[in-house]
């Protein structure tokens, strides 16, 4: 059996006596949109932390594109092709939208010693500035280049966050509740954007909005109490009795 793009095998993580994740195994294949669902406190964000490198698991291994990345730092994993967004917007609030994305573009550059370039003004590096503007356009923020990130509307900040992650040119994009805190109109726009991205990059998507999940996902995994109880097609997940009981039922109440 050939390996997936991402292979999580037997990953465990505890905080003191609390087992946030127990023996979680998950495979994300190249090109798919894989949704991760589960009730609050199921360990979804904790799992994203282990994959992105924000935390290191206590047990198990994480392989990306065939390489064991379990012990690699977050910034090394980014250069391998794993990018992420946060549940709570995480951008450079005092920088302009363009400067935000320019940083992400610059981080990928390996010419002139990468960012150990001490002399040439960064503003004058057209290639970086132009590419940053192109990423802003890609997420629907054309015309907002000069706006200060912190002053953007909530939805726009989420779009900016996506541009930041995309500009690292990831092979796998981890999206942690990208629609969190959005109104229906903003959500609809971001769902459309994720649908568009899903055709270009492999996505692992944590999301609460079931309509969005069933619309976007090729496959769905269900995490309950730190254990992965099921992975399958959206229709299978919808029909699975344990899932209904553990998660979907909760929504119906």
Partner 1 sequence: MAASEKSALYRQSARRRALAVVALLVLAALPPLLQALGQDFYVSFAARILIFALAATSLNFIVGFGGMVAFGHAAFFGAGAYAVAILAERGVVSAFVAWPAAAALAGLLSLAVGAVSLRTRGVYFIMITLAFAQMIYYLFVSLQAWGGDDGLPLMARSSFGPLDLGDDAAFYWVALACLAGALFLLDRVAHARFGRVLQAIRENESRMEALGYPVAAYKLACFVIGGTLAGLAGALIANHGLLASPNLLHWTQSGTLLVMVIVGGVGALYGGFAGALTLLLLEEILAGFTVHWHMALGLLLLVVVFRAPRGVAAWLHGLFSRRGAK
Residue that has been written with the tokens 């549940």 in this structure: 87
Between 17 and 121, name the residue whose CB sits nearer to partner 1: 121
Between 91 and 216, name the residue whose CB sits nearer to partner 1: 91
The CB-of-56 to partner 1 minimum distance in angstroms stands at 14
The CB-of-84 to partner 1 minimum distance in angstroms stands at 6
The CB-of-107 to partner 1 minimum distance in angstroms stands at 4
Which is it for the CA torsion 204, 207, 209, 210, positive or negative? positive
Residue 225 in tokens: 């109490």
Between 29 and 168, name the residue whose CB sits nearer to partner 1: 168
Which three-class secondary structure state does DSSP give residue 143?
coil
Between 166 and 197, name the residue whose CB sits nearer to partner 1: 166
The CB-of-235 to partner 1 minimum distance in angstroms stands at 34
The CB-of-79 to partner 1 minimum distance in angstroms stands at 5
- Give the CA angle between residues 29, 223, 229 to the nearest 5°: 85
Closest CA to 203 of 85, 101, 59: 85
Between 202 and 231, name the residue whose CB sits nearer to partner 1: 202
- Give the CA angle between residues 14, 176, 207 to the nearest 5°: 105
Which is it for the CA torsion 106, 108, 111, 112, positive or negative? positive
User: Which stretches of the chain bind partner 1, using CB under 8 A?
Assistant: 52, 54, 73-76, 78-79, 83-84, 90-96, 99, 102-104, 106-109, 112, 114-123, 125, 146-148, 151-152, 164, 168
The CB-of-40 to partner 1 minimum distance in angstroms stands at 23
Q: How far is CA 105 from the centre of its chain?
A: 17
Element (H, E) at 9: strand 6-15
CA–CA distance, 125 with 201 (Å, rounded to integer) = 27
Between 48 and 213, name the residue whose CB sits nearer to partner 1: 48
Give the 3-state secondary structure of 125-172. CHHHHHHHHHHHHHCCCCCCCCCEHHHCCHHHHHHHHHHHHHHCCCCE
């Amino acid at each position: 059996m050939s390996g997936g793009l991402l292979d999580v095998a037997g990953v465990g993580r505890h905080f003191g006596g609390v087992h946030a994740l127990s023996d979680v195994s998950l495979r994300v294949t190249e090109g798919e949109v894989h949704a991760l669902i589960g009730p609050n406190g199921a360990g979804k964000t904790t799992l994203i932390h282990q994959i992105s490198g924000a935390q290191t698991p206590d047990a198990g291994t994480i392989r990306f594109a065939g390489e064991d990345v379990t012990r690699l730092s977050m910034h090394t994993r980014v250069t391998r092709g794993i990018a992420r967004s946060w549940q709570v917007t995480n951008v450079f609030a005092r920088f302009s939208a363009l400067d935000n994305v320019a940083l992400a573009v610059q981080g990928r550059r390996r010419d002139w010693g990468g960012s150990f370039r001490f002399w040439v003004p960064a503003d004058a590096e057209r290639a970086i500035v132009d590419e940053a503007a192109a990423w802003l356009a890609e997420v629907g923020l054309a015309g907002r280049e000069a706006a200060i990130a912190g002053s953007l509307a909530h939805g726009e900040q989420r779009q900016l966050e996506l541009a930041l992650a995309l500009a690292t040119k990831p092979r796998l994009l981890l999206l942690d509740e990208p629609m969190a805190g959005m109104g229906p109109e903003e959500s609809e726009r971001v769902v459309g954007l994720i649908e568009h991205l899903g055709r270009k990059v492999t996505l692992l998507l944590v999301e609460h909005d079931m309509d969005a999940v069933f619309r976007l996902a090729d496959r769905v995994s269900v995490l309950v109490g730190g254990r992965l109880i099921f992975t399958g097609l959206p229709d299978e997940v919808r029909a699975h009795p344990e899932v209904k009981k553990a998660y979907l039922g909760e929504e119906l109440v």
